[in-house]
């Protein structure tokens, strides 16, 4: 995006110079200086706008990075809790099997 903005800015400036040069040369050095000043201020305005876009992109990337880190942390915590619960279920299963074996032995006697 920044590259295309730069390319558009350069293309626009080139068109301005080609389109205005014949008119400016008729007006003499003063007209050329006015046009150069105009183009310089336009260039400064475009650079400021581009800087603002880059700053916004950096801020958005930082916010997105923070959200992704939080999501990864929450996912890690959830997985850990699931594994702990699975272990608890295994223990309960073993207890139930033990109770079943005890009841079978108790019934045989």
- Model confidence band, residue 103 (pLDDT cutoffs 50, 70, 90): confident
pTM for this structure?
0.48
Neighbours of 86 (CB within 10 A): 10
Name the residue among 37, 41, 50 with its Cα closest to residue 7.
Answer: 50
* Two structure tokens written together for 107: 């019934």
Query: Buried b vs exposed e over 8-41: b needs ≥16 C-beta within 10 Å?
Result: ebeeeeeeeeeebeeebeeeeeeeeeebeeeeee
44-100 pLDDT, tens digit per residue, is 999 999 999 999 999 999 999 999 999 999 999 999 999 999 999 999 999 999 887
> Quick one: pLDDT at residue 43?
93
> How confident is the model over 28-56, as a mean pLDDT?
90
Q: Domain residues of the chain, as ranges?
A: 2-79
> Quick one: pLDDT at residue 30?
85
Name the residue among 57, 81, 39 with its Cα closest to residue 3.
Answer: 57
């Amino acid at each position: 995006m920044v590259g295309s903005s730069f390319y558009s800015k350069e293309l626009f400036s080139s068109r301005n110079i080609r389109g205005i040069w014949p008119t400016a040369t008729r007006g003499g050095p003063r007209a050329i200086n006015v046009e150069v000043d105009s183009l310089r201020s336009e260039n400064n305005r475009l650079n400021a706008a581009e800087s603002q876009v880059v700053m916004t992109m950096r801020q958005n990337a930082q916010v997105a990075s923070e959200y992704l880190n939080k999501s990864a942390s929450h996912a890690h915590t959830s997985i850990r809790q699931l594994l702990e619960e699975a272990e608890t279920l295994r223990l309960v299963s073993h207890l139930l099997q033990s109770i079943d074996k005890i009841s079978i032995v108790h019934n045989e006697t």
